[in-house]
Amino acid sequence: MAGMYEYNHAGAKIKAMKAGLLQQEDYERLIRMPSVQEAALYLKSSTCYREALKDLREDNIHRGHLEILLYRSMAEDADKISHYVSGYEKELFYHIYTDREIEDIKRMLRFLRLGRPLTEMDTETLFRDQRSQVDFEKCLAAKTEAELIEGLKATIYYPPLKALLSEKGTLPIFDAEMTLDYYGDLEIIRRIQNFKMQAAEGLAMKMFGSRFDYRNILYIYRGRRYYNLPKEILYRYLVPLYYRISKQEIQDMIEAATVEDVVRIADQSFYGRIFDLRRKGRGLAFQRFMRKEWLHLMNAHPFGLASILGYLLLKEIEIRDITVIIEGIRYSVISSMDLTKEIAFPLSGKEGESSGH
């Protein structure tokens, strides 16, 4: 039982940081803002993002730049929290960097595939951080896909990408992106499985388990529906962890005769009550479900690993919500009422959690 309370001393810190997350009033004000500039000014002056956005120019806001600044604030939070933990538990908090690195590598690959030099990229939209294992200076100097891979030589991404490189020095982009996602998830699983405390390992699996389930389900569905991927490819990139959906159900989805059968199996699984594969809003429905799950685990283990991880995961969803609101205001394509349906935060106020600023 002692393991459950190893992180007791982090409790007050996490509680204070969680209190800084946006509340219902903040979301309602943001959605009502008449311009992107005023929304950004509100974030800079009245929320926990003051420091992160201090150098942001409200008159020239690029979505990618804003998003990266918000993610950097999340990374800074992870760095503060990491002082309370050690070993593989500490490493797990840096999944943030792995996720951002993977997205940046994908963007660089796509840029090169379009025949454009990486020197033309807006580097302010890259996550570039001192803790990153990616040497961005070397990567951005690459003129070909092969050179980009060589720039990743000191990273965990080099071996799998190098193996995909053709004799002509090009990559199959779909396989490359799937490989990056796959190895990113494997890295999280590796860190969790190396935890010294069984109780902490179990909690971490609860925090990430549904993420892996969702990835596998969506990967199979998209692979079958849009790419007609062969079974061997579908099996190759499965995350080897099954939380609320069984290995047999996943195999049945791969072996199913039709896409309709894939959907039917997903509908009959635990996740059938959470999202509908046929609907565009499945990602948002899943995020709303996970948000409730994480809040439940944080309340059940307020001084444990779940509280620490939960805070970071909640902030990740919050950043996504902010980005959606900013883009909605920018293009004026949705009314305030519609915009409330596009974010994970429950503006109905029914969720019951409130921490106040």
Q: For 146-167, how does the pLDDT look when each residue is reduced to its tens digit (9 = 90+)? A: 999 999 999 999 999 999 999 9
- Kindly indicate the confidence band of residue 185, based on its pLDDT and cuts at 50, 70 and 90: very high
Percent of the chain with pLDDT over 70: 92
Average pLDDT over residues 247-252: 98
Residue 52 has pLDDT above 80, yes or no: yes
Average pLDDT over residues 190-204: 81
**Distance of alpha carbon 97 from its chain centroid, rounded?**
10
Cα-Cα-Cα-Cα torsion 117, 118, 123, 127, nearest 10 degrees, comes to 150
Q: Compute CA distances 245 → 15, 133, 287, 293, whole Å.
A: 32, 33, 17, 16
Q: What is the pLDDT of residue 253?
A: 99
Q: What is the pLDDT of residue 26?
A: 97
Find out whether 266 and 272 touch, Cβ atoms under 8 Å.
yes
Rounded Cα distance, 276 and 281, in Å:
8
Q: Is 258 helix (H, G, I), strand (E, B) or coil?
A: coil
Find out whether 246 and 222 touch, Cβ atoms under 8 Å.
no
- Kindly indicate the confidence band of residue 337, based on its pLDDT and cuts at 50, 70 and 90: low
Average pLDDT over residues 313-341: 86
Q: Which two tokens stand for residue 213?
A: 């389930």
- Kindly indicate the confidence band of residue 356, based on its pLDDT and cuts at 50, 70 and 90: very low
Q: What are the chain's domains?
A: 1-84+302-338 (1.10.132)
Average pLDDT over residues 117-141: 88
Which is more confident, 228 or 80? Answer: 228
Q: What is the pLDDT of residue 335?
A: 61
Residue 352 has pLDDT above 70, yes or no: no
Residue 354 has pLDDT above 90, yes or no: no
Which is more confident, 313 or 3? Answer: 313
Residue 234 has pLDDT above 50, yes or no: yes
Q: What is the pLDDT of residue 65?
A: 87
CB atoms inside a 10 Å sphere around CB 122: 10
Q: What is the pLDDT of residue 333?
A: 60
Q: How far apart are the first and last CA of the chain?
A: 33
**Distance of alpha carbon 210 from its chain centroid, rounded?**
13
Residue 59 has pLDDT above 70, yes or no: yes
Find out whether 150 and 141 touch, Cβ atoms under 8 Å.
no
Helices (H), 20-62: 24-32, 36-46
The residue written with tokens 């990266």 in the block is 68
Residues 6+ positions from 30 with CB-CB distance below 8 Å: 22, 39, 42, 43, 322, 325
Q: Mind listing the pLDDT tens digit for each residue in 95-114? A: 778 899 999 999 999 999 99
Find out whether 126 and 62 touch, Cβ atoms under 8 Å.
no
Q: Which two tokens stand for residue 306?
A: 């779940």
Q: What is the pLDDT of residue 14?
A: 85
